[in-house]
Amino acid sequence: MAIERPHLVELHQVTQESVRLDRVRTGTLRAITRYRLFAQEEGQIAQLPWYPGDWIDQGELLMALDDSLLRSQITRSRAELNRAERDLERVRALSQRNLVSVEELQRRETELEIARAELAILTTRLSYTRMAAPFSGVVTERLSEPGNFASKNTHLLTLIDPQSVVVDLQLSEQVITHLRVGDEVEIQLDALGARQFPGKITRIYPEVDPLTRRGQIEIRPDPVPDGALPGQLARVSLSANLQQRMMIPFAALRYEQGEYVYVMNEDRKIEKREVITGLRVADRVEVLSGLESGDRIVIRGFMGLTEGREVLPVIPLAEREA
């Protein structure tokens, strides 16, 4: 009976090691400070002097509606308020001589309160016919024209602050947990060439999409480069030094209804060990469970290798030549 010769394999001893995470991911520039001007009152547009690309200073008039009808209503409301005040004074004088009922006095007081409220409503509505820029910025959308009738809640114009741009970036849950607000990054904008711009992580969203297992972060260029525009493609270089991790060569992983590796035991025989992996860094992968430091795993010589087979470790050529 022929004696089965040991199977030749190359091994790797599992250890804890420091890991530097380097990733380049693409994202999109977005302006955080964005104002969409909606008509809060209905009427004919009297002024809408801005076009896309125009710079507007804070406080400048964005839009004005024809307010002639409202001003007429305010004039009438003030007249009614004055009449209500005179009526109340007259009734109070009569009430002091017990010539009118308490109910009549209360009715006149209520009429005065209603007149004041109606005037306040009309005054507020009048203020909605002229809208000013809440901040300095650039017009990106003009959606109507003077002379058009604007109904309530009609979108008329959009204003952004170009200095408020951030990069929206989607990252794997395995990467995002290693980042912190304030981490420095490098940003490259394809539209501006190969130059790298500094930036910082300013926000890490607290949820991960359960379907994609990806989370979102915001990165602010500091300073915002000239020529940066919302919607542009950004390439972000991320780096992080991780704590000691159990890393193994990616080539050691096998797949069969899950991930596993081949481990050589003290008798130089092969055991099949299921593992759970985490972060992949270059040609190495993190092992979260299934292995311990000191385990010796197979990284080469898988052809014909089966569980229980006796193996003979070989020294890699590079180590022999060294």
pLDDT band at 146 (very low <50, low <70, confident <90, very high): very high
Q: Under 8 Å CB-to-CB from 36, ≥6 apart: which residues?
A: 155, 157, 158
Residue 1 is predicted with a pLDDT of 47
Average pLDDT over residues 229-235: 96
Statement: residue 214 has pLDDT above 70: yes
pLDDT band at 319 (very low <50, low <70, confident <90, very high): low
Pick from 3, 12, 7, 5: nearest CA to 305 = 7
* H/E stretch holding 77: helix 68-96
Which CATH number is 21-30+162-243's, of 3.10.580.10, 3.90.1200.10, 2.40.30.170, 2.30.40.10? Answer: 2.40.30.170
The CATH code belonging to domain 7-19+245-321 is 2.40.420.20
Q: Are 176 and 196 in contact (CB under 8 A)?
A: no
Residue 198 is predicted with a pLDDT of 96
Residue 14 is predicted with a pLDDT of 93
With pLDDT > 70 as the criterion, what percentage of the chain qualifies? 97
CA distances from 85 to 88, 90, 93, 117 (A): 5, 9, 13, 13
Q: What is the pLDDT of residues 18-59, one digit of tens each?
A: 888 888 999 999 999 999 999 999 999 999 999 999 999 999
Residue ranges covered by each domain of the chain: 7-19+245-321, 21-30+162-243, 34-63+131-160, 67-128
Statement: residue 2 has pLDDT above 60: no
Statement: residue 321 has pLDDT above 70: no
- CA-only gyration radius of the chain, Å: 37
Dihedral class, residue 257 (left if φ above 0, else alpha if ψ from -120 to 50, else beta): left
Q: Under 8 Å CB-to-CB from 66, ≥6 apart: which residues?
A: 43, 44, 45, 46, 129
Statement: residue 72 has pLDDT above 80: yes
User: Are both 7-19+245-321 and 34-63+131-160 of the same fold?
Assistant: no
Q: What is the pLDDT of residues 104-135, one digit of tens each?
A: 889 999 999 999 999 999 999 999 999 999 99
Task: Give dist(CA 293, CA 51) in Å, integer.
Answer: 66
End-to-end Cα, the chain, rounded Å: 40
Q: Are 60 and 132 in contact (CB under 8 A)?
A: yes
* H/E stretch holding 196: strand 196-208
Residue 3 is predicted with a pLDDT of 62
Residue 189 is predicted with a pLDDT of 96
Q: Under 8 Å CB-to-CB from 171, ≥6 apart: which residues?
A: 23, 25, 179, 214, 215, 216, 217
34-63+131-160: CATH class = mainly beta
Find the range with the poorest average confidence among 7-16, 140-149, 177-186, 238-247: 238-247
Statement: residue 317 has pLDDT above 70: no
Task: Give dist(CA 259, CA 273) in Å, integer.
Answer: 9
CA distances from 246 to 95, 284, 292, 313 (A): 92, 10, 8, 22
Phi, psi of 174 (to 5 degrees): -75, -25
Task: Give dist(CA 241, CA 131) in Å, integer.
Answer: 50
Residue 95 is predicted with a pLDDT of 84
Task: Give dist(CA 238, CA 21) in Å, integer.
Answer: 8
Query: Rounded mean pLDDT of the chain?
Result: 92
Statement: residue 242 has pLDDT above 50: yes
Q: What is the pLDDT of residues 278-288, one digit of tens each?
A: 888 888 899 99
CB-based burial of residue 174 (10 Å sphere; 0-12 exposed, 13-18 middle, 19+ buried)? middle
67-128: CATH class = mainly alpha
